[in-house]
Structure 1
Amino acid sequence: MKLNAAALAALAVTASATPNERRQETGCASAVTLDASTNVWTKYKLHANSFYRSEVEAAAETMTGTAAEKALKVADIGSFVWVDTRSAISRLEDAIVGVPCDDILGVVIYDLPGRDCAAKASNGELKVGELSVYKTEYIDPIVKILKANPNTAFALVIEPDSLPNLVTNIDLQTCQDSAEGYREGVAYAISELNLPNVVMYLDAGHGGWLGWNDNLEPGAEELAAVYKAAGSPSQLRGIATNVAGWNAWDLSPGEFADATDAEWNKCQNEKIYVETFGEALAAAGMPNHAIIDTSRNGVQGLREEWGNWCNVDGAGFGLRPSSETGSTIADAFVWVKPGGESDGTSDSSATRYDSYCGKPDAYQPSPEAGTWNQAYFEMLLNNAKPAF
């Protein structure tokens, strides 16, 4: 493609502009107000954030031919940017630059003290008891950034795995120690992030976690209690499910429908789960619409058990982000987990080694959580359903 002199000049001006100047040239002309009582995904498209784009483009550079071409198509898929440490807040600032008015920037809020109390692979930077640090050095700076960008729309997934762990893993001492900080921290987050240009979804695990018959009501009550403790924030729309997960949306019979314990879990796919858990949430007094992570659920029948969560071998990219879910309670399919980033290391000698990452159905070798795994990315690409 050839560019004329005017186009080249425009590109030069854009390249030389400061981030603040570029930000003013994008986004909306006026402040964004999101109506969280409606499905905002019918109006906004999930933004292909710059951080994941840079990872995928770097991956494509090591590939050739049609494989590289397919990889670059992944870079154009909307996805969430993970703000999983205080230092990663700068990642959010960079991602805001260039978001057009009809896009919504997805952001994962993920840095609670004692994070992931039932798993070693993704333990966070803050220790149990450092709640004031979480509030003042993590949540407050994010709030400040979102307020400084009123012309940009944001969709937030709040603290993956936190409250679900308090429902099913409270027998663990680590989760008992984390419980108070989780509840107060999440309540603080959704209260302070309750801004006009924000829509929020509270993480609710998945159908193989809180979908068990005995977990549905306790799970809904746990989430609803935190929602109410936060003052029932108006911009909280409901829940996010299957985050970094593998469950099918509407596979019937479900992946584990023939398991010996299947009778105790009627939520054999995510569609049944969001609709069933949604009823329990409504009864508990909390908004119940959902977004579902379909980033890596393109292939089913790979896991030995529901709970096997680490780098599932044979996985593929799943359904593309869309508001066309076929369910009135499901707002959208979204890509939350950056496909290609590891769930955890398979090195059993590592400090953060979790045995789930060494199971027979986990891809090996795999690096530390959050680290790029080129071979795994290429597997996701090759196994994508629908294909690229």
Structure 2
Amino acid sequence: MSRTTPQHRRGRPRSAALAACALVLAAAGTGTALTGSASAAPAAGCTVDYKIQNEWATGFTTEITVQNTGTALSSWDVEWTFAGNQQVTQGWNADVSQSGRNVTASSPSWGGSLAAGGSANFGFQATYSGSNAVPASFTLNGVTCTADGSDPGDPGDPGGPGDPVDPPGGRVDNPYEGAQVYVNPDWSAQAAESGGEAVADQPTAVWLDRIAAIDSGSAGENTMGLRDHLDAALEQGADVLQMVTYNLPGRDCAALASNGELGPEEIDRYKNEFIDPIAEILSDPAYADLRIVNTIEIDSLPNLVTNVGDRATATENCDEMLANGNYVEGVGYALATFGDIENVYNYIDIGHHGWIGWDDNFTATAELLHEAANTAGATVDDVAGFAANVANYGSIEEPYFSIDDTVNGTSVRQSTWVDWNRYADIQTFSQAFREEAISAGFNNDVGVIIDTSRNGWGGPDRPTGPVEGAATVDEYVDGSRIDRRIQQGNWCNQSGAGLGERPAAAPATGIDAYAWIKPPGESDGSSSEIENDEGKGFDRMCDPTYEGNPRNNNNMSGALPGAPVSGHWFQAQFEELLANAHPAL
């Protein structure tokens, strides 16, 4: 399989200027077209006019105008990625810095604010050789200004000024933007039959969790293979199909409930019998106009940070996968192989704040992901972003307490619940991790998908405000927090959980989408040992009587009773998710 150059994979424009490229973030209700989030705070929007003022054999100067079409900003950062070897030598009216091909123009110290409807003008001088293509897209404070215009050049000059900035079917910065997302008929029918008619039209991801799933569907009642889903997406007129590739050798080394079919050393089978056949299907020209959002191997790389070595949380299986390198090799191979397909957008799993949010985990995870993204032929250009909270329960936001709060002089970070974590919610963690990943070497246009399928935490026990007059920091946090789990390390079929935010595109800075990656109603693991042919073991964290281990600070598991094997339909959990949904159904 031949490698495609990064600029072709990303659909770089060939025109010489970018005119009035606008992004409008609108509130979205239920349905499959993701255009915004009704409950999210107002986000920035922008238009950008990028003009090359003067150009000569080895250099050029620009004039750039950014208009803020969103809410007022106290400071701003405009970011883009060059397609060629352009190198900024000096800037004016902005602090312009460059790392590799990634450029950031920041508001100057003497003029940082940008009013709603206001504009900022700046420019730079740069050197180059060869092509001087205009950047494909720009962001204002992490929110994309999408290209929707063309140059005022001669439209009859193929390949020159006047060509469309972003050709139809070409690469986009955020695949969810303005897109209709595929509704999985398998899950939709099951949800409707199980009392979930109100949410049966929501898009959920297709899970490829074993080799057989490629042709015959994943666990439980799912019957459709990958090609069946792709054909159904075309019939629906969908723009985006979401999928999860989840079958690494020695899969999920810290949780028996989601162990897989491949042994720790079976990396060749993973490549040849799992990744390659999937890529062959996705490469079919019939699906070229579908954007394939692929979440890469949930839980894998974070396990190699938190569950190895001399830590109390270490497992023998995770130590083995760290030593043999097959998680890193497998993720790199998947990124490289799918990265060759222009319409595939790879998102690497980053766990969640209750796993990676501590100082000794945070940077190490970003660095490990960067290592994987440069292994087995992969590069950072194969990574569209990251996926957070997949199949987990952490709240998007904690509106009633802050990590910076204190109670009688004691920091919230010292509470039992927070336990010195830097983050109290998934969204703050995701936005910070994105910045950490960029610092580690990822492109500055990466985004994050947050799985909101089961983190609503509604119902009568949901707090309506912060605890007043709390005597201790534990009393304050436990009474104010939205996330009602016993402990943040609890992950299996959590009692009291509800459906979360409905899928929506670009709900916050740096967040590409809220998405239902884990199909609501599908079990995390069985409450007791159940024989199966899927390689899935019995994990005591799915047993409601279990008193815990170091990975959840020896707390009760918080799991629901009567659960089937992971991936199979769990009616009692689905009914609870419906009852506790927030926003309410």
- TM above 0.5: yes
Q: State the alpha-carbon separation in 2 of the partners of residues 56 and 278 from structure 1.
A: 33
> What secondary structure, in the 3-state scheme, does the structure 1 residue paired with 2:334 have?
helix
Q: 1:311 to 1:258 in 2, by over 3 A?
A: farther
Q: State the alpha-carbon separation in 2 of the partners of residues 319 and 142 from structure 1.
A: 30
Q: State the alpha-carbon separation in 2 of the partners of residues 190 and 286 from structure 1.
A: 13
Pair 1:375 & 2:542 matched: no
Q: 1:259 to 1:45 in 2, by over 3 A?
A: farther
- 1:334 match: 515
In structure 1, give the amino acid aligned to 2:564.
P
1:79 is aligned, of 204, 207, 231, to 204
- 2:175 match: 40
Pair 1:139 & 2:275 matched: yes
Pair 1:232 & 2:379 matched: yes
Q: State the alpha-carbon separation in 1 of the partners of residues 300 and 333 from structure 2.
A: 14
Q: State the alpha-carbon separation in 2 of the partners of residues 235 and 39 from structure 1.
A: 14
Pair 1:156 & 2:294 matched: yes
| 1:343, distance to aligned residue in structure 2 (A) | 0.4
Q: Deviations over 1:215-244 (max 9, x none)?
A: 111011000111122431534211000000
Q: Deviations over 1:329-372 (max 9, x none)?
A: 11110000011111011115768221111244111111111111
2:254 is aligned, of 118, 139, 154, to 118
Q: State the alpha-carbon separation in 2 of the partners of residues 335 and 257 from structure 1.
A: 30
- 1:355 match: 540
Q: Deviations over 1:89-135 (max 9, x none)?
A: 12222111231444300000000010000010010011111111111
In structure 2, give the amino acid aligned to 1:249.
I
Stretches of structure 1 that go unaligned for 5 or more consecutive residues are: 1-29, 60-67
After TM superposition, the score normalised by the length of structure 2 is 0.57
Name the Cα RMSD after superposition: 2.1
Which has the larger displacement, 143-152 or 48-57? 48-57
Check the 8 A contact 2:175/2:291 in 1, yes or no: no
> What secondary structure, in the 3-state scheme, does the structure 1 residue paired with 2:527 have?
coil
Q: 1:367 to 1:263 in 2, by over 3 A?
A: closer
- 1:24 match: none
2:505 is aligned, of 313, 323, 327, to 323
Check the 8 A contact 1:213/1:264 in 2, yes or no: no
> What secondary structure, in the 3-state scheme, does the structure 1 residue paired with 2:373 have?
helix
Higher strand share: 2
Q: State the alpha-carbon separation in 2 of the partners of residues 305 and 116 from structure 1.
A: 20
Q: State the alpha-carbon separation in 1 of the partners of residues 281 and 494 from structure 2.
A: 35
Q: Deviations over 1:30-68 (max 9, x none)?
A: 983333xx1221132321112312322343xxxxxxxx3
Query: How many pairs are equivalent?
Result: 346
Q: State the alpha-carbon separation in 2 of the partners of residues 199 and 214 from structure 1.
A: 29
- 2:563 match: 366
In structure 2, give the amino acid aligned to 1:272.
T
Q: Deviations over 1:114-170 (max 9, x none)?
A: 000001001001111111111111000100110012232210000000000001012
Q: 1:383 to 1:134 in 2, by over 3 A?
A: same
Pair 1:186 & 2:331 matched: yes
Pair 1:313 & 2:511 matched: no
- 2:303 match: 165
- 1:204 match: 350
| 1:210, distance to aligned residue in structure 2 (A) | 0.9
Stretches of structure 2 that go unaligned for 5 or more consecutive residues are: 1-166, 216-224, 310-314, 404-411, 458-481, 545-555
Q: State the alpha-carbon separation in 2 of the partners of residues 56 and 34 from structure 1.
A: 33
2:189 is aligned, of 54, 59, 62, to 54
Pair 1:177 & 2:315 matched: no
Check the 8 A contact 2:350/2:386 in 1, yes or no: yes
Q: State the alpha-carbon separation in 2 of the partners of residues 258 and 248 from structure 1.
A: 20
> What secondary structure, in the 3-state scheme, does the structure 2 residue paired with 1:209 have?
helix
In structure 2, give the amino acid aligned to 1:146.
L
Q: Deviations over 1:186-221 (max 9, x none)?
A: 000010001111111000000111111221110110
Check the 8 A contact 2:328/2:372 in 1, yes or no: yes
Q: State the alpha-carbon separation in 2 of the partners of residues 358 and 144 from structure 1.
A: 40
After TM superposition, the score normalised by the length of structure 1 is 0.84
Check the 8 A contact 1:201/1:236 in 2, yes or no: yes
In structure 1, give the amino acid aligned to 2:229.
A
The 5 A counterparts of 1:267-306 are: 267-287=423-443, 288-299=446-457, 300-306=482-488
Q: State the alpha-carbon separation in 2 of the partners of residues 56 and 97 from structure 1.
A: 21
Check the 8 A contact 2:247/2:261 in 1, yes or no: yes
Segments ≥4 residues shifted beyond 3 Å: 254-258, 348-351
Check the 8 A contact 2:210/2:247 in 1, yes or no: yes
- 1:98 match: 232
Higher helix share: 1
Q: Give the fraction of aligned pairs with identical amino acids, expressed as a percent.
A: 38
Q: Which has the larger radius of gyration?
A: 2
| 1:73, distance to aligned residue in structure 2 (A) | 2.7
In structure 2, give the amino acid aligned to 1:347.
S
In structure 1, give the amino acid aligned to 2:348.
L
> What secondary structure, in the 3-state scheme, does the structure 2 residue paired with 1:154 have?
strand
Q: State the alpha-carbon separation in 2 of the partners of residues 302 and 263 from structure 1.
A: 16
Pair 1:386 & 2:583 matched: yes
> What secondary structure, in the 3-state scheme, does the structure 2 residue paired with 1:156 have?
strand
In structure 2, give the amino acid aligned to 1:210.
I
> What secondary structure, in the 3-state scheme, does the structure 2 residue paired with 1:333 have?
strand
